[in-house]
Amino acid sequence: MTAYFRSLAGRFFHRSQTENDLEEELRSHIQLRAEALERSGLARSEAERRARLEFGSPERFKEECREAIAGNFIDVLFQDLRFSFRMLRKSAGFSAVVILTMALGIGATTAIFSVVDATLLHPLPYPEPEQLVYIQDDLTELGARDVGLSQPELNDLRHSGIFQEVSPAWFDENNLTGSSQPARVRIDTVAPSYFALLKVSPQLGRTFDPAYDAPGYMPEVVISDGLWKRLFAHDPNILDKSIRMDTDLYRIIGVMPPGFNTPGRTSEERNIEVWAATSFYGPPLPDQPPRNRRNIPGVIARLNPGLTIATAQSRLDALVASLQKEFPQDYPPQSGWTIRMVPLQETIVGNVRQPLVLLLSAVGLVLVIACANIANLLLARASARGREMAIRQALGAARARLTQQLLTESLLLALVGGMVGIVILLGVKDLLVNLVPDSLPQLNKITISWPVLFFALGASLLAGVTFGLAPALRAGRLDLTHALNQEGRGSSGSREQTRTRRLLIVTEFALALVLMIAAGLLLHSFWDLLNVRLGFNPQSVLSVRTRLPYPNDVSIDKYATASDEAPFLREVTRRCLSLPGVEEVALGDTASIPLDQTQRTLNLIAEGGHFLFTVEGRDLAGNEPSVVDRSEVTPEYFHLLGIPLLRGRSFNDADTDKTPQVAVINEAMAQTYWPNEDCLGKRFRSAKPNSPWVMVVGVLANARTQSLAEADELQFYQSIYQVRAKHLAVLLRGHFDNSVLAEEVRKQIQSVDPTLPVFGAQTLNQAVSGSLAQRRFSMRIVALFALTALLLAALGIYGVISYIVTERTHEIGIRLALGAQTNNILRMILTEGMSLALSGAVAGLLCAVVAARFMASLLYGVAPVDPAVFIGVPLLLFAVAVLASYLPARRATQVDPIIALRDT
Q: Smallest distance, Å, CB 830 to other proteins? A: 56
Query: Which residue's CB is nearer to other proteins, number 3 or number 211?
Result: 3
Residue 880: count of CB within 10 angstroms of its CB = 20
Distance of CA 686 to the CA centre of its chain: 38
Q: Smallest distance, Å, CB 68 to other proteins? A: 4
Cα 396 to Cα 402: distance, rounded to the nearest angstrom: 11
Contact between 331 and 319 under an 8 Å Cβ cutoff? The reply is: no
Query: Which residue's CB is nearer to other proteins, number 51 or number 448?
Result: 51
- CA dihedral (355, 357, 361, 364) positive or negative: positive
Q: Smallest distance, Å, CB 478 to other proteins? A: 24
Q: Smallest distance, Å, CB 203 to other proteins? A: 59
Cα 743 to Cα 576: distance, rounded to the nearest angstrom: 11
> Which one-letter DSSP state was computed for residue 621?
P
Query: Which residue's CB is nearer to other proteins, number 56 or number 286?
Result: 56
Q: Smallest distance, Å, CB 27 to other proteins? A: 11
Which helix (H) or strand (E) segment holds residue 777: the answer is helix 773-807
Which residues sit at the interface with other proteins, rule CB under 8 A?
21-22, 24-26, 28-29, 31-33, 35, 54-58, 60-61, 64-65, 67-69, 71
Q: Smallest distance, Å, CB 404 to other proteins? A: 19
Contact between 202 and 249 under an 8 Å Cβ cutoff? The reply is: no
Cα 28 to Cα 69: distance, rounded to the nearest angstrom: 19
Maximum distance among all Cα pairs of the chain, rounded to whole angstroms: 134
Count of alpha carbons within 13 angstroms of residue 398, beta-carbon side: 8
Query: Which residue's CB is nearer to other proteins, number 22 or number 842?
Result: 22
Query: Which residue's CB is nearer to other proteins, number 33 or number 49?
Result: 33
Q: Smallest distance, Å, CB 73 to other proteins? A: 15
Q: Smallest distance, Å, CB 62 to other proteins? A: 8
Residues 6+ apart with CB under 8 A from 681: 695, 696, 697
Contact between 302 and 131 under an 8 Å Cβ cutoff? The reply is: yes
Query: Which residue's CB is nearer to other proteins, number 60 or number 206?
Result: 60
Angle (deg, nearest 10), helices 353-384 and 450-476: 30
Contact between 158 and 166 under an 8 Å Cβ cutoff? The reply is: yes
Q: Smallest distance, Å, CB 70 to other proteins? A: 9
Query: Which residue's CB is nearer to other proteins, number 54 or number 624?
Result: 54
> Which one-letter DSSP state was computed for residue 117?
I
Query: Which residue's CB is nearer to other proteins, number 56 or number 290?
Result: 56
Residue 868: count of CB within 10 angstroms of its CB = 11
Cα 104 to Cα 96: distance, rounded to the nearest angstrom: 12
Query: Which residue's CB is nearer to other proteins, number 14 or number 853?
Result: 14
Query: Which residue's CB is nearer to other proteins, number 18 or number 354?
Result: 18
Count of alpha carbons within 13 angstroms of residue 380, beta-carbon side: 22
- CA dihedral (572, 573, 575, 579) positive or negative: positive
Query: Which residue's CB is nearer to other proteins, number 3 or number 68?
Result: 68
Task: Choose among 201, 200, 206, 174: nearest CA to 187.
Answer: 174
Q: Smallest distance, Å, CB 114 to other proteins? A: 46
Query: Which residue's CB is nearer to other proteins, number 42 or number 457?
Result: 42
Cα 162 to Cα 302: distance, rounded to the nearest angstrom: 9
Distance of CA 643 to the CA centre of its chain: 35
Q: Smallest distance, Å, CB 84 to other proteins? A: 24
Q: Smallest distance, Å, CB 64 to other proteins? A: 4
Which residues, in sequence order, are bridge partners of residue 134? 300, 342
- Strands of 224-297, DSSP E: 242-245, 248-255, 274-278
